[in-house]
Amino acid sequence: MHELILDKSISLPATDVMVGTARRFAAGILVGTPVVADAELIASELATNALRSVPAGGDAEFTVRVRLSTGLARIEVRDEGPDLWRPGADQVSGDDGERYGLAMVSLLASRFGARRDRAEHVVWAELSWQPR
Delimit the domains of the chain by residue range.
Answer: 4-128
pLDDT score at 29: 97
In this prediction the pTM is 0.86
Band of pLDDT at residue 84, cut at 50, 70 and 90:
low
**Angle, alpha carbons 2-7-10 (nearest 5°):** 150
pLDDT score at 89: 47
pLDDT tops 80 at residue 98? no
What is the percentage of the chain residues whose pLDDT exceeds 70? 83
Q: Tell me the pLDDT tens digit for each residue of 106-119.
A: 899 999 998 887 77
The hierarchical CATH code for the domain 4-128 is: 3.30.565.10
Query: How many alpha carbons lie under 13 Å from residue 10 in its C-beta half-sphere?
Result: 18
